Amino acid sequence: MAKQYDFIAVGDIVTDAFIRLSVAEEHMNKHAPELCMPFATKIPYESVTEIVAVGNCANAAVAASRLGLSSALVSNQGDDEVGKRQREVLKQENVNDEFVLDHTGMKTNYHYVLWYKDERTILVKHEDYPYEMPGSHDGGPELEAKWLYLTSLSPKSAEFHDKIADYLDAHTDTKLSFQPGTFQIKLGKDRLERLYKRAEIFFCNIEEAQMILETKEEDPKKLMQMLHELGPKIICITDGPNGAFASDGKEAWSMPVYPDEKPPYDRTGAGDAFASTFTCALALGKSVPEVLTWAPINSMSVVQFVGAREGLLTREKLEEYLSSAPASYAPKKL
């Protein structure tokens, strides 16, 4: 009989090389901030830090493991040295790698992160893996999960989402937590209708909600109401320094950020830490208002370190922060 995991994350695993820049400037154009550097010359950099086995799905799986859940990962990589190092990290973090597939002759996803001040610009390249849900049909182990956490996948994975929906149809007790990446948002709510309808929890930020719903609406409560109409039972919308908002379809709350111990060092992975911690707390039996007090703490911790993994907290450490939180750190009904 297959082992049932508390938490299985599905997405693309990657190794990030953080290139710390000093000779650069920030500029705002009409639509978004831009990172500007001298062109056609040599630019000095301060350092390069390689962070192995990250990406939204791996970050979530590690967060779940550190919070005490049995955790596994469904992902793809090459049969190269980078892939071998990723497996070593997953094992160190007690994340089961039996559903991570090595593809002969292919490379492991490797991204370059231009790190300037506390923000980053990521140069991404997704390898063209043949996406499949693991199972006995291909001679592999059966996938059994209490919670399936679906997050960022490559632009080549559109049909894979149908296979995930098929899996969920066949496993009605498995709950879906959906934190879409850029490509999944661009696929549109109609293309991923089955996943929206099946989601127990759905995560996005304000701008992403507007893109998904094709609206200019800015009120988080109204955006959550509109997202509920797509099917998810619980909606969580983040808004950077303004905190987060959540709704269970009956009540809605706002939640401030947890006070930073010091200014953020690197904001990579803050969203992953929030969404995965929110999901894990629900899996541990917490109510939505309680969950809202957990998630910002892990986000606060992650941004104090380089990369998305080092700052992820154990349950014991997270509860220490919670016990020392100021009185103002509490959800408020909207």
Q: Please state the domain extents for the chain.
A: 5-13+55-106+131-333
Can you give the pLDDT at residue 212? 96
Residues 237 and 224: beta-carbon distance below 8 Å: yes
Compute CA 21 distance to the chain's CA centroid, rounded to the nearest angstrom: 25
At 83-126, the pLDDT tens digits run: 999 999 999 999 999 999 999 999 999 999 898 887 888 898 88
How much is the pLDDT for 136? 47
Cα separation, 240 vs 218, whole angstroms:
14
In a 3-state reduction of DSSP, which class is residue 321?
helix
Number of H helices, E strands in the chain: 10, 17
User: Which residue numbers in the chain have pLDDT < 50?
Assistant: 136
HSE (side-chain half, CA atoms, 13 Å) at 321: 21
- Please state whether beta strands 25-28 and 95-96 pair in parallel, antiparallel, or not at all (unpaired): unpaired
Measure the CA–CA gap between 295 and 287, rounded to whole angstroms. 12
pTM: 0.91
Q: Please tell us whether the domain made up of 5-13+55-106+131-333 is placed in CATH 3.40.1190.20.
A: yes
Q: Which two tokens stand for residue 33?
A: 């901030």
Sheet strands (E) in 37-108: 45-54, 71-78, 95-96, 100-103
Task: Output the pLDDT for position 303.
Answer: 79
Contact 269, 308 (CB under 8 A): yes
